[in-house]
Amino acid sequence: MGDLGFLGIRYPEEYGGSNMNTLGSVILAEELGRSTFGGFAVTVTVHTDMASPHLANFGNKAQKDKYFPDLIAGRKICAVGVTEPDAGSDVAGIRTTAVADGDHYVLNGSKMFITNGVKGDIYFIAAKTDTQVKSSRGITIFIVEKGTPGFSVGRALDKQGWRCSDTAELVFDNCRVPRENILGELNKGFYSIMRNFQNERTVLAAQSMGEAAKALEMTLQYVQERKAFGATLWDKQTIRQRLAMLQAKVEAGRQLTYHAAWLDAQGEDAVKEVSMAKAYCCELVNEVMYTCLQFHGGFGYIRESAIERMSRDARVQSIGGGATEVMLEEIAKRSVVVS
């Protein structure tokens, strides 16, 4: 992926990137979704659109010069550590702490469900640096490199889907990180996390529509070949019409996602549209997979079937990057008419 130039499409040419915008990320994510391997797709998109943007948005020149060439070339893998056992979509609830000690900060705590956590080389870790203020005002992001004393992978997690993606628990036990590894401003990390959520959610919506479109293509081919009761499944009106409606819904989801990406690329406030795309597309991909597996019959339930794998991979889309319920609240908050 690095050799092909796909890991830096949003980043400056001086580091090996292509200097594109949000629409470039959406195209990449949609095509990755069509690979039929959700674990592969998210391994790449976490690297390109969920972790490294923190470096792009808030890193200083020295940090960018040090890390970007390897990240964009694919020589090193990055991950972002925000989620904890007791803090998922509620970012302000994180408990990992970082205490100043001379020229270092000492990190203690743990992170959970971290994609690329096992094989990562560079981690962007959120920690509380001021416990006396409102939670959202006391979070700082640190760059932590693999091999830093006190930092370890607690365990690799065994997941229902995304099996070819590594997901880990990270542990920080008096982990000493140099002060120059603070990413952005001290105590302002919450805003960096919130800013990139919109990009992350748009990418997940696009990946979901790529997965859904591919599943429909596979199912259309299957039902035109599979015979039952003297005719192909395609000859059954109910099957044709259900697949036709799903195609219409997927196209609607794609258009909504591209619109949200376009708004973001123009610098517009697109939180409502992004939340709509994330909620709609990540629920829709599960509806599509359920129906496609159903129309594959028994074969769709066998592990050697791509549809079986895709249906497991899709389930997490309505959870990761902000659960559907959280997205609906974001939409609702922006839907109240103030007279």
Hey, which residues are catalytic here? 200
**Token pair listed for 278:** 């994330």
Q: Which of 46, 45, 50, 168 is closest to 114 using CA atoms?
A: 168
* List of E strands, 42-130: 78-81, 97-101, 104-115, 122-128
User: Coil, strand or helix: which one is 4?
Assistant: coil
End-to-end CA distance of the chain: 51
* HEC sequence for 220-266: HHHHHHCEECCEEHHHCHHHHHHHHHHHHHHHHHHHHHHHHHHHHHC
**Contact status, residue 124 vs residue 151, Cβ threshold 8 Å:** no
Give the Cα-Cα-Cα angle 83, 88, 93 (nearest 5 degrees): 90
Region of 229 (left: φ > 0; alpha: ψ -120 to 50; beta: rest) is left
Q: How many other C-beta atoms are found inside a 10 Å radius of the C-beta of residue 271?
A: 19
Contacts (Cβ under 8 Å, ≥6 apart) of 58 = 141, 183, 184, 185, 192
Q: For the chain, what is the largest distance between any 2 Cα atoms, rounded to a whole number of angstroms? A: 79
Per the listing, tokens 């949200």 go with: 260
Integer Cα distance of 187 and 262 in angstroms: 31
